């Protein structure tokens, strides 16, 4: 009689680590990120607008805030790079290469964490598991992806639970962006934090 209960508890406990947020970053290590000065945010078909306008607004405003606080200027045209996000909110998400405005450069490392982690990939597409948040930055002139941040378990199927999860995921993702941008952006953030105190 006790065995099924114990097995059920063990399965429940073992499931908890899989529910935790994990962040992965891929980027082209040959790109001098410190040379990027301007960005433009672009909407995508696979964002949160149809699921929760509040959550969508949160993601967009946080991305813009992180970028501008890090010393970048948002422009309406001719940016150094474009910034966008995608979500697998209610279902798994498939990003087909033919649907994106950019390609993957020869020096872009696509990581070895796909199988069993974020999802799966083929030469022509990427499949992200439900709950994943993806932030992409691509070089405007070359039309090539230069940086991708991915957070698993970042979006809940319940819109009421999303804001805190999204804020936590974006903070982790953009910390990785700061690392790619280098010392300059970290110094700017530290100076602004000191001015607020």
Residue 1 within a domain: no
Give me the chain's average pLDDT, please: 81
Does 125 reside within a domain? yes
Q: Mapping DSSP to helix (H, G, I), strand (E, B) and coil, where does residue 39 land?
A: strand
- 72-119 pLDDT tens trace: 999 999 999 999 999 998 889 999 888 898 998 888 777 777 766 788
**CATH number for 147:** 3.30.160
Q: Does the residue 159 lie in any domain? A: yes
What pLDDT digit, counting tens, does each position of 172-185 carry? 998 888 877 654 44
pLDDT of residue 142: 92
Which pLDDT score is estimated for 16? 39
**In-domain check, residue 14:** no
Domain that holds residue 79: 19-196
Q: How many domains does the chain have?
A: 1
Q: Tell me the whole-structure pTM to 2 decimals.
A: 0.82
Residue 11 lies in a domain: no
The C-alpha atoms of residue 46 and residue 130 are separated, in whole angstroms, by 12
pLDDT of residue 191: 54
> How far is the CA of 41 from the CAs of 67, 78, 79, 164, in angstroms?
10, 12, 9, 22
Predicted local distance difference test score (pLDDT) of residue 4: 43
Question: Which residues lie closer than 8 Å to 23 by C-beta, 6 or more apart?
Answer: 149, 150, 151, 152, 169, 172, 173, 176
pLDDT-derived band of residue 8, with 50, 70 and 90 as boundaries? very low
pLDDT value of residue 5: 41
Distance CA 16, CA 130 (A): 16
SS3 112: coil
What does the CA dihedral 14, 15, 17, 19 come to, rounded to 10 degrees?
-170
């Amino acid at each position: 009689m006790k065995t099924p209960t114990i097995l059920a508890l063990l399965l429940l406990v073992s499931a908890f680590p899989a529910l935790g947020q994990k962040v992965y970053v891929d980027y082209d290590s040959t790109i001098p990120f410190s040379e990027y000065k301007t960005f433009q945010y672009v909407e995508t078909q696979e964002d949160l607008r149809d699921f929760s306008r509040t959550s969508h607004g949160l993601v967009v405003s946080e991305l813009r805030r992180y970028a501008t606080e890090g010393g970048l200027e948002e422009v309406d045209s001719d940016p150094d790079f474009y910034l966008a996000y995608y979500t697998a909110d209610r279902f798994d998400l498939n990003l087909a290469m033919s649907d994106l405005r950019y390609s993957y450069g020869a020096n872009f490392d696509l990581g070895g964490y796909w199988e069993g982690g974020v999802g799966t990939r083929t030469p022509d597409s990427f499949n992200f598991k439900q709950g994943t948040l993806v932030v992409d930055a691509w070089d405007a002139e070359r039309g090539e992806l230069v940086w991708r941040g991915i957070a698993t378990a970042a979006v809940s199927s319940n819109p009421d639970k999303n804001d805190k999860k999204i804020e936590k995921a974006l903070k982790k993702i953009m910390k990785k962006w700061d690392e790619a941008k280098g010392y300059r952006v970290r110094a700017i953030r530290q100076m602004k934090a000191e001015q607020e105190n």
